[in-house]
Structure 1
Amino acid sequence: MKNEISASGNSLFEQIKQTDANGNEYWTARKLAKVLAYSEYRHFIPVIERAKEACKNSGQHIEHHFEDILEMMLLGKTAKREVNSIKLSRYACYLIVQNADPNKEVVALGQTYFAVQTRLQEIRQMDEYNRLDTEDEKRLFLRNELAKHNLQLAAAAKGAGVVEPIDYAIFQNHGYMGLYGGLDAKAIHRKKGLKKNQQILDHMGSTELAANLFRATQTEEKLRRENIQGKGNANKTHFEVGKKVRKTIQELGGEMPENLPTADSIKQVEKAHEKKRLK
């Protein structure tokens, strides 16, 4: 979209993010509604209500994520007045975009943005992950998470019609091409200086593994949520999700995955970790 990226390179969702007195990030419902192209706030209220219900069903406290506030709105050129609004957490925004009009392009962008950011926040908040001190420990943790989610992604892809091994290889390549700026598995191998018998995932650092974990989890969710059918549609979905994850990394000022350094084989790290555990 034309207004998706500002001159500063930040997404619309970053531009309207605010920080309270305690340093907590939040969004307001009025501004989010405007960004998501709802012409009138009253049309946005049912979306918020569905998000609150989803919040409750997920076992979360609604009041921790949706707080009623008064927001100052500009009326005309100079006039202002306070109107009812809601202070939203990142998780609340994630639930809102999942329940918003999927036909709006900006909603699709919001789904990827908040899904990636929410997943990143979840990883950072994981007690197990936060106890990890070294890069190798983080790599092992994320590699195991990715292995688990790749199985779930394969199952979701099979449900969409990606059945044969060659078809799944093509499906995976579409995800890589979206995330790696057009590079397929062979091109990534060359870019990273890997041999044919070396697995790409075994030579990723924690940052690159995290990006691919986001790609896998969000593609799986989208395939299931939208009941996508057909190999072509599944491939397109994987590519688009990978591309959007890439865009989010760019907006956050991160290094593109193809430019991240090639790590030593994770198998060596696993052996060292097992020896340490046995001792």
Structure 2
Amino acid sequence: MMKLTPKENTVFEQIKHTDEAGNEFWSAREISKVLEYAEYRNFKPVIKKAKEACKNSGQPTENHFVDFHEMVKIGSGAERSFDDGVKLSRYACYLIVQNADPSKEVVALGQTYFAVQTRLQEIHQMDAYNRLNTESEKRLFLRNEMTKHNMQLAAAAKNAGVVAPVDYAIFQNHGYMGLYGGLDAKDIHQKKRLKKSQQILDHMGSTELAANLFRATQTEEKLKREDVKGKQKANQTHLEVGKKVRKTIQDLGGTMPENLPVADSIKKLEKGSSKIQRKGSE
């Protein structure tokens, strides 16, 4: 299980609440203070933008933004009643920090923290993923997810202006360079002693696949959210996201992806899985 740095625990985990049903939530008013908004009224437009993003993503806003009557300590043990309190889910917090002032260091920290935690939560909440017991099963699942999201990433990159195959290869290299500490696809092949004909993704274990899946999904979302236009900006976006994922792995004490062991070709696992499925259907 991943460990959070003390700073991340203090800033975000320590202000997390749990309701009577055991559901976690954050107070929008408390989040606004952590994100260094002096006045709560200046934070309300951020909440509004986050609600719009939630709606646009197809999620019911009422599941993630819940209005409630909030009692807030104002000093000397006294409390004051506020009618404009909002309970935020983890996903709502993720949308909040994506729409907050990006020039603030704590906002950048929040973007990484909630993005990682939200994605991990999504993966672990997947019934299909929770039924997996072996490393092989997890690899197959994540490799299929990677294939699906790479297609979506390609579509987002094309919308940004990355059209020609050679340009898309350069775009992908920027993502790899961010995540792998400056190594591009060719360098990764050499580092892991893979042949030119062997696909990097086919020889990743589940941990490395998860890191790359996170890189792909977050880049896709960022390209769309910020309506990035132009090949250079798209490349820079992919590079920056890769760097953030790498920094998160480092902060959590994980192994850098270029140092993770090379796995056997996933093609072998796919063949084995197909045989089992055929036998089961006979």
Structure 2: where are the runs of 5+ without partners? none
Could you tell me which residue of structure 1 aligns to residue 31 of structure 2?
32
Q: Distance in 1 between matches of 2:187 and 2:112?
A: 25
| % identity of equivalent residues | 68
Aligned 8 A contact 2:149 2:216 in 1: yes
Q: Distance in 2 between matches of 1:230 and 1:93?
A: 30
Q: Distance in 1 between matches of 2:210 and 2:217?
A: 11
SS of residue matched to 1:87:
strand
Residues 149 and 13 of structure 1: CA distance in aligned 2, closer, same or farther (over 3 Å): farther
Q: Which shows bigger deviation, 113-122 or 262-271?
A: 113-122
Aligned 8 A contact 1:66 1:92 in 2: no
Q: Distance in 1 between matches of 2:201 and 2:149?
A: 13
Could you tell me which residue of structure 1 aligns to residue 223 of structure 2?
223
1:20-169 maps to which residues of 2 (within 5 A)? Answer: 20=18, 24-55=23-54, 58-60=58-60, 62=62, 65-66=65-66, 68=68, 70=70, 72-73=72-73, 75=75, 81-82=79-80, 84=82, 85-102=85-102, 104=104, 106-169=106-169
Q: Distance in 2 between matches of 1:157 and 1:119?
A: 21
Cα displacement (A) at 1:239: 0.8
Cα displacement (A) at 1:55: 4.1
Could you tell me which residue of structure 1 aligns to residue 6 of structure 2?
8
Q: Which shows bigger deviation, 41-50 or 239-248?
A: 41-50
Cα displacement (A) at 1:272: 0.8
Residues 63 and 227 of structure 1: CA distance in aligned 2, closer, same or farther (over 3 Å): closer
Q: Distance in 2 between matches of 1:133 and 1:160?
A: 39
Q: Which shows bigger deviation, 42-51 or 119-128?
A: 42-51
Residues 187 and 16 of structure 1: CA distance in aligned 2, closer, same or farther (over 3 Å): farther
Q: Deviations over 1:129-163 (max 9, x none)?
A: 11222211111111111111111111211222222
Given residue 265 of structure 2, which amino acid in structure 1 is its aligned partner? S
Q: Distance in 1 between matches of 2:165 and 2:105?
A: 32
Given residue 118 of structure 2, which amino acid in structure 1 is its aligned partner? T
Residues 249 and 216 of structure 1: CA distance in aligned 2, closer, same or farther (over 3 Å): same
Could you tell me which residue of structure 2 aligns to residue 200 of structure 1?
200
Residues 153 and 54 of structure 1: CA distance in aligned 2, closer, same or farther (over 3 Å): closer
Residues 83 and 262 of structure 1: CA distance in aligned 2, closer, same or farther (over 3 Å): farther
Q: Distance in 2 between matches of 1:73 and 1:172?
A: 50
Q: Deviations over 1:59-91 (max 9, x none)?
A: 43625553525354465xx66644544332201
TM-score (normalizing by structure 1): 0.84
RMSD: 2.8
TM-score (normalizing by structure 2): 0.83
Q: Deviations over 1:87-108 (max 9, x none)?
A: 3220121222233345655445
Structure 1: where are the runs of 5+ without partners? 1-5
Aligned length: 272
Residues 17 and 268 of structure 1: CA distance in aligned 2, closer, same or farther (over 3 Å): farther
